[in-house]
Amino acid sequence: MKRIALENLDPRFAAELVARPGGGNLRKCYACGTCTAGCPVFQVDADYNPRKLIRMILLGMRKEVLSSKAIWLCARCYTCTANCPQAVDFSDIMMALRDMAVAEGYASAETLEKIEAISTAAHELRRDCINLFLGVGNATEADIRSRMERAFALVRKDPAR
């Protein structure tokens, strides 16, 4: 287990997030794990752990959180928020973390734009695949492949990779 050096912690970090929209209940988190258990990202990537991120925020691990790939993996589906017994709005906290990462130089504004475009492409892909499976709509396999290629093109052009 990695040691946490007290001198590297930022006691203002959690307060800054609490002051942002959606961050008001952050300190109410008692680490029950409901956010992680219901998270669709956790279902495909066991290293993604909203509960752990909240603990890191509350400890003041600013650099570790803002430089983490985890803040970019959140699908912002609000499942964690809907299930949280303490009404911690984790999805909005993730957006605030992304904004802070850009503002503090941990990521470029272009990275944020690309991640949002990739998220939109992923949602469109899911919609088209489900429609194709259900036999509704007019999406074809060729349309779906084309959408996937456009999403891959976004990733290949990302300078942050």
pLDDT tens for residues 44-98?
999 999 999 999 999 999 999 999 999 999 998 999 999 999 999 999 999 999 9
Note every long-range contact of 45-51, with CB atoms under 8 Å and residues 24 or more positions apart, other chains counting.
Answer: 45/73, 48/73, 50/74, 50/80, 50/90
Over pLDDT 70: what percentage of the chain? Answer: 96
Q: What is the DSSP letter of 85?
A: T
Predicted pLDDT of residue 158:
47
Average pLDDT of every residue of the chain: 89
Q: Please check whether residue 154 is in contact with residue 121, taking contact to mean a CB–CB distance below 8 angstroms.
A: yes
161 pLDDT band, cuts 50/70/90, is very low
What pTM does this model have? 0.83
Domain boundaries along the sequence of the chain: 9-103, 109-156
Assigned token pair, 143 = 């349309």
Q: Please check whether residue 81 is in contact with residue 124, taking contact to mean a CB–CB distance below 8 angstroms.
A: no
Assigned token pair, 72 = 């970019």
The per-residue DSSP string of 93-150 comes to HHHHHHHHHHHTTSS-HHHHHHHHHHHHHHHHHHHHHHHHHHT-SS--HHHHHHHHHH
- Cβ-proximal residues to 4 (8 Å cutoff; 6+ apart), any chain: 59, 61
Q: Which fold has domain 9-103?
A: Fumarate Reductase Iron-sulfur Protein; Chain B, domain 2 (1.10.1060)
